[in-house]
Amino acid sequence: MTDIEKYYLQLCQEVTSRQLANEEGDTQEQTFTRLFLDLLSEAGETENTTVAYDEKDFGTKKTHKINGYAISDNYETVDLFITIYRPEEEIPVIYKKDIDQAVTRITNFFRKATYNNYEDDVAESSPIFEFAHTLGSYQELKDNLVRVNAFILTNGEYKGEIPQSISLNGNKIFYRILDINYLFQISEASHVPIEIDFDEEKAVVPCLPASTDNEEYQAYVAIIPGTCLANLYERFGSRLLEQNVRSFLQFNGKINKGIRETIKTEPHMFFAYNNGLAATADHIELDESGHFISRINNLQIVNGGQTTASIYYTQKKDKADISSIYVQMKISVIKKQEQFNEIVSRISRYANTQNKVNDADFTANNQALIEFEKLSRYILTPLSSDSPLQTYWFFERARGQYKTLRQKEGFTKSRQDAFDKKYPKGQVLTKTDIAKYINAYEEVYEGKKLVIGPHIVARGNEKNYARFINNNLPETLKKINNVYFEDTIAKAILFKTADKRYGTKASAVHIGELKNVTVPYTIALLTKITDGELDLYKIWKAQQLSPALSDFIFDLMVQVNEFIIKNSVGSHYIEWAKKEECWNMVKEHTFAYDLAQIKDDLIDSSNPPVRRVSGEDQSGNGTYEHEIGIIRSIPPSLWNKIADWGQSSGFLAIHYQSAARDTAHKLKYNHLITETDRKRAMAIYEIVCQNNIELLDEADELAERDREAREALEAKKEKKRQESGVQADDITLDLIKEMVDWDRRKRNLEDWKWKVMNDVVTGKKPLTDTYKYTFWLNLQFLRKKGFPK
């Protein structure tokens, strides 16, 4: 049995097991589609994929079919996917007639959607409605679309010709056939090498070897015509840029606009103005003269993606003449394949000078992710009555790690069953998974700019992951500890539970068709309305949500789903939800909920969970204690002054101004500083240190003022208590309990006043003289409302 035959059998088994475990109600064909699209996304072939099946007019010439789609963020590319899946014992043979039929059906769909307002024939609840409506009437897409890719996905083998591209409604459709051989290659090798024969391309590419020759690489300098570069980009798309550190940034930066302007107005000067490309390859073959490239294998542009895409899109969108454009290309032929990724990463980092690229963009060996991976290999889930078996949450930093480890455990059914119990498939996390769960949970600001929010999650795995890497990974490795891991798993459980409760068409309850939007929006809203006080440690320990919290989230999702649809600017709900404006409207709206329903799921400020960091100094010198010490060393009045400074200077966003004042209040009244409080306060402290550290010089003086003011207030309270004639013995625990029980039904007292009394009754707080006086005031109020005492 060949390697590809073994792979085919494993693939069929994987599709069957996924389909049985899937809660989306997928067929095997759609399960295969979902698996294939995940691999294509990871390989850089596409982005923002959505699995959505639609087939109409079956058996007629108008038959159309689609299994999935993708729209690029700049609306310049649309990918269509149609699947031919045949679960046979041996690799099925795909014939030309099968391909022709698929081409006709996917083309019919595109024609109907763009010409005939097909969305009018589709129910709004259908998963294809949003896409059909976007194709038919979304003006931004019509203005920017320059390329349509039609992918025919199959588990069979096809050896025939590739269908010729066609023009339809002013758009060129390029057809590609991705069969079992292609699937095997991207699954095992991450990408399919690009092989170019410049003789067939009818392109003349002058090239000279550089004098540098060593064991690691051979250097060449070439001049590539702009027309040839544009043709290569049209043919291979993002595959040409797989090793590039970022996607095409559109024409929104100065460099891109400059490139575009030069192409349009001074194409003959392009070579002089442009820095050129940096590329890598496995092999270069020169012609007999040794001065021109004949063939090149595995060509990858590692720096110059914007130049390449800008030439292509300016030619397509602006009809620019690029015949006089030539681009310098430095090519490094990597000799040691085991060092390929490392060398390419370094070339990308050092060659990149046009636009700022953060070090975090180079994620292949991101140290934070490596640390997270290590934690996932030794941290077991807690034992409980509901979870008598300890398991692992497996973080798959590199694709294929889970499958490789499972195979190492053995091929017998008993050994693999044992592995599956220890590492359940439902507890496998990818990089894009944790990015989604973490980014959905809480907003992140940089200054006044909101860089992380649920609208970012709604933009798709690729864009959300980029924001996560650049804006939401801890800056120091010390923070990638067991507490961070446990909280991340809790966020995963939270998200996955919400996702399941939202439902699908196959489930008994189904909220709607905006799951990918409503779930992250609701999670972020939950964090906001609970002020970040959700007890993640409780979720980690239970490995599930309480029924009350699960129901609370469901009720909130119903409202959020309806709100987004009702308030959408136009009927493009998903596109609308990708905008910050949509999230701002959601978080400013007042939804119907009662936090009392989930009070047991929130952190008890009087008895917060004790978290111990593995390996951290527990003697009082740890990072946590140090930071709490810093926060408490700044007096309440100075925290208020910091808030005022942040507002007037613009260095603090509104939520940080509020957090500074909240910190002042908690310090003033000796309330608990929660984990969320600590993180926000330290973030504010860092901003002050960077921009106005002199402000902290006032700490000692203001602390003395605060102490004097506090003593004066206590003296005033004591004087009032004495004048009121209230004696300590007048307010007893029995009386307080009667007040609590009576007002539990009547609900006359403000929630916080009732809660303080209840905390005293249940032993969470001591009954001090100050509390006795406060409770005496509560007693006078309740007597007016009918309290019998």
Averaged pLDDT, 141-163: 89
Q: Give 252's pLDDT tier (boundaries 50, 70, 90).
A: very low
Dist CA 372 CA 393 (whole Å):
11
Averaged pLDDT, 584-598: 95
Stronger pLDDT, 84 or 789, i.e. the higher one: 84
Q: Which token pair is 484?
A: 């961070």
Stronger pLDDT, 356 or 320, i.e. the higher one: 320
Q: Assess contact for 441 and 523: CB atoms under 8 A.
A: yes
pLDDT at 202 over 90: no
Q: List, as own/partner pairs, every contact residues 125-131 make where C-beta atoms lie below 8 angstroms and the sequence separation is at least 24, other chains included.
A: 125/512, 125/513, 126/54, 126/513, 127/50, 127/51, 127/52, 127/53, 127/54, 127/513, 128/52, 128/53, 128/54, 128/66, 129/513, 130/513, 130/572, 130/573, 130/574, 131/50, 131/52, 131/69, 131/71
pLDDT at 650 over 80: yes
Residues sharing a CB contact under 8 Å with residue 318, sequence separation 6 or more, in sequence order: 260, 263, 264
Dist CA 314 CA 257 (whole Å):
10
The per-residue pLDDT for 412 is 66
Q: Give 549's pLDDT tier (boundaries 50, 70, 90).
A: very high
Averaged pLDDT, 277-284: 87
Stronger pLDDT, 306 or 404, i.e. the higher one: 306
pLDDT at 128 over 70: yes
pLDDT at 616 over 70: no
pLDDT at 387 over 70: no
Query: For the segment 289-299, what is each residue's pLDDT rounded down to a tens digit?
Result: 889 999 998 88
Residues sharing a CB contact under 8 Å with residue 627, sequence separation 6 or more, in sequence order: 678, 682
Query: For the segment 437-470, what is each residue's pLDDT rounded down to a tens digit?
Result: 999 999 999 888 999 999 999 998 888 988 998 8
The per-residue pLDDT for 356 is 44
Averaged pLDDT, 410-437: 84
Query: For the segment 550-568, what is each residue's pLDDT rounded down to a tens digit?
Result: 999 999 999 999 999 999 8
Averaged pLDDT, 353-377: 65
pLDDT at 77 over 50: yes
pLDDT at 322 over 60: yes
Q: For the chain, percent helix, then strand, then coil, each to nearest 5?
A: 55, 15, 30
Stronger pLDDT, 22 or 171, i.e. the higher one: 171
* % of the chain residues with pLDDT over 90: 28
Q: Assess contact for 324 and 273: CB atoms under 8 A.
A: no
Q: Which token pair is 224?
A: 């590539």
Q: Tell me the sheet residues that pair with 296.
A: 196, 284
Q: Which of 84-98, 124-138, 278-292 has the lowest mean pLDDT?
A: 124-138
Stronger pLDDT, 314 or 713, i.e. the higher one: 314
Identify the H or E element spanning 311. Answer: helix 305-318
Dist CA 717 CA 724 (whole Å):
11
**Strand blocks (E) in 132-247:** 147-154, 166-168, 171-178, 195-197, 207-213, 217-225
Give the up-direction half-sphere exposure of residue 251: CA atoms within 13 A in the CB hemisphere: 18
Dist CA 199 CA 217 (whole Å):
25
pLDDT at 242 over 50: yes
Q: Give 683's pLDDT tier (boundaries 50, 70, 90).
A: confident
Averaged pLDDT, 93-106: 93
The per-residue pLDDT for 359 is 41
pLDDT at 643 over 70: yes
Q: Are β-strands 293-297 and 195-197 bridged in parallel, bridged antiparallel, or unpaired?
A: antiparallel
pLDDT at 227 over 80: yes
3-state secondary structure of 331: strand
Sheet holding 207-213, edge to edge: 207-213, 217-225, 326-334, 277-281, 300-303
pLDDT at 536 over 70: yes
The per-residue pLDDT for 155 is 93
Q: Assess contact for 276 and 304: CB atoms under 8 A.
A: yes
Averaged pLDDT, 588-615: 87
Mean confidence (pLDDT) of the chain? 82
> Side chain identity at 119, as an amino acid letter?
E
Query: For the segment 30-47, what is each residue's pLDDT rounded down to a tens digit?
Result: 989 988 988 887 776 787
